[in-house]
Amino acid sequence: MFTIFSATHKRLLPLIVAAFAASATLPAGTAFAEPKQGGSLTSFSTGYRTLNPGVQSGAATGAPGSQIFAGLVTVEKDYEIAPYLAKSWSVSDDQLTVTFDLVEDARFHDGVAITGEDVKFSLETVKANHPFGRSMFGSVESIDVPEPHKVVLNLSQPVPGLMLSLQPLLMPIMPKHIYDDGQDMKKHPRNMEDVVGSGPFKVEENIPAERLTLVRNEDFFIADRPYLDRIAYPIVKDPLTRVLMLEKGEIAYAPFSGIRPNDAKRLENVDGVNMTTDGYDAIGYIHYLELNLRDKPFSDRNVREALAHAIDTDFLSKVIFGGRTVPGTGPLHTGNPFYSADTPHYDADLDKAASMLDEAGYPKGENGERFSFTLDIPSWAPQAHVPMAEYIQAQMAKLDIKVELRRAPDFGTWVKRISSWDYEATMNGSFNYPDPVIGMHRHFDCDNIKNVIWSNTQGYCDPEMDKMLDAAAIETDFEARKKIYADIQAKAQQDLAMIYMPQDFSATVYQDGIGNLPDSPFGGLAPLTNVYLED
């Protein structure tokens, strides 16, 4: 395995796979506390539109998707890259050619052998369809398959975060023989019906409004894995219902539990129930107020600053999140290795906000209002989005700005509005991921202004920002790269491309008796191949 970075190792090597030995082998499952075969694990889902993480980002798709599909590698504890479908790999001296040797006895769930052509098809599909596919794989110029189980990526420039993108969460290996039929990959029926994956679990039952059930892939290419016979995902959208089910033991494992701080206190006192905030290091979830920058008033940067001065993020951190999180200071999470606190800050100041609105040409009108706008509220994470939206509505009223709150009835409705740019403002949030190319570039790159959720839907474009993003994407010296990202964070906060809210309170709640819970930085979004039940 190869270390990318850790708490004591803060230098990003030229290409994170450059020193990997060709003799790498599959994880042997050592240091497990007598794992046992069998049993069913009950988790939950708030709902999903697709089971294919190659065309959709986020935990709702990623949690089950990483079980259904395998990747070339996995990301283990301390960001170590471990073999998965790729049993070994090598990198050319100029870091522009990466060659993977694949496991030779791996098969899809329908029994068809997995080959390099499937890997090539999958990467090209992700690059073209994933919300940040271009950010991850834009430097992959071509892909060669010289042998059935050998794949060669030809890069136009070094890609420091390449291996982090080749895990099942971000680049699942999909069956070319099923998907390569000319249909739109985002809407392909096999993303939800008769799903054929390459991972440790197969889809047994998929009733999107009720439940998803996965069962053990008996023909998985890692011997004696997975340990679990079944994973059940009942659809539980209401946070309070989840808390009650966790108390009763009806949900045994709840990553991205979506519980409120008060509920966290409640569950911490329940016998047999445990809670951890581990497993979110690589996720770095941040909340933000997203404004459509195409039209007035939000196309005016001074208006955006006025709104920022009206929002007290310290207050939100303490009241809504119970002091369990901190205010956001820019586009990177405080746990990200490239985080910088040296960004412009906008202290809460309603008088200053009012003065700025007057100067920007938005005085109080005859109807008693400066202007009005609709603030969309997603269906997901209501424990955070709803109270923050209600607070924003109240604060804007103090400035004589009328805000109408519009709650989306379901995920698809909200996605359609935002991805089609048919909105004025929305509560939103996204994952950082450990490498900013994966999680942050997508929001600021001019070329990523797309009708795709969690891309640059707000329409921000600045050539200077693009130059900095391009420079950071290929810089292989960690300290030099960190300096570029410090400048990027400062500019994003100066331009107020988004107004950053408190970081998320993310917690996993789980019952006693579960062995080998994922301890990687991706936690519940990693394969549950080694998880077992003690009883």
pLDDT tens-digit readout, 407-435: 999 988 999 999 999 999 999 999 888 89
| Residue with more model confidence, 173 or 410 | 173
* pLDDT of 31 over the 80 cut: no
491 neighbors 189 (Cβ within 8 angstroms) = no
Q: What is the pLDDT of residue 432?
A: 87
DSSP reduced 3-state for 77: helix
Q: 271, exposed or middle or buried, with CB in 10 Å at 0-12, 13-18, 19+?
A: exposed
Angle between helices 382-398 and 301-310 (to 10 degrees): 110
Which H or E element spans position 417?
Answer: helix 411-419
Residue with tokens 């195409």: 294
- pLDDT averaged over every residue in the chain: 91
Judge whether residue 11 has pLDDT over 50. no
Q: How many of the other CB atoms lie within 10 Å of CB of 327?
A: 19
What CA–CA distance (Å, rounded) separates 491 from 488?
A: 5
Query: Concatenated DSSP letters for 370-411?
Result: SEEEEEEE-SS-HHHHHHHHHHHHHHHHHTTEEEEEEE-SSH
Q: What is the pLDDT of residues 454-512, one digit of tens each?
A: 999 999 999 999 999 999 998 989 999 999 999 999 999 999 999 999 998 889 999 99
Closest CA to 93 of 19, 8, 163: 19
Judge whether residue 15 has pLDDT over 60: no
Token pair 């202007």 is found at 371
Residues recorded for the chain: 535
Question: β-pairing, 273-276 with 286-291?
Answer: unpaired
What is the Cα–Cα distance from 204 to 259, expressed in whole angstroms?
Answer: 28
CATH 3.10.450.40 fits 2-20+35-215+507-533, yes or no: no
Strand 211-216 relative to strand 230-234, pairing = antiparallel
| Environment class of 366 (CB within 10 Å of its CB; exposed 0-12, middle 13-18, buried 19+) | exposed
pLDDT of residue 18: 34
- In 277-417 the beta strands, taken as DSSP E runs, fall at 286-291, 371-377, 401-407
Q: 217-270, pLDDT tens digit by residue?
A: 999 999 999 999 999 999 999 889 999 999 999 999 999 988 888 888 899 899
Residue carrying structure tokens 């999140």: 321
CB 37, CB 401: distance < 8 Å: no
DSSP secondary structure string for all residues of 458-510: T----HHHHHHHHHHHH--SHHHHHHHHHHHHHHHHHHTSSEEEEEP---EEE
Check if the beta carbon of residue 288 is closer than 8 Å to that of residue 313: no
- At 368-393, the pLDDT tens digits run 999 999 999 999 888 899 999 999 99
Residue 32 has pLDDT above 70, yes or no: no
For the domain covering 286-503, report its CATH number. 3.10.105.10
112-154 per-position pLDDT tens digit: 999 999 999 999 999 999 988 888 999 999 999 999 999 999 9
Q: Is the pLDDT reported for residue 27 higher than 50?
A: no
pLDDT at position 33: 60
What residue segments make up the domains of the chain, in order of their start? Answer: 2-20+35-215+507-533, 286-503
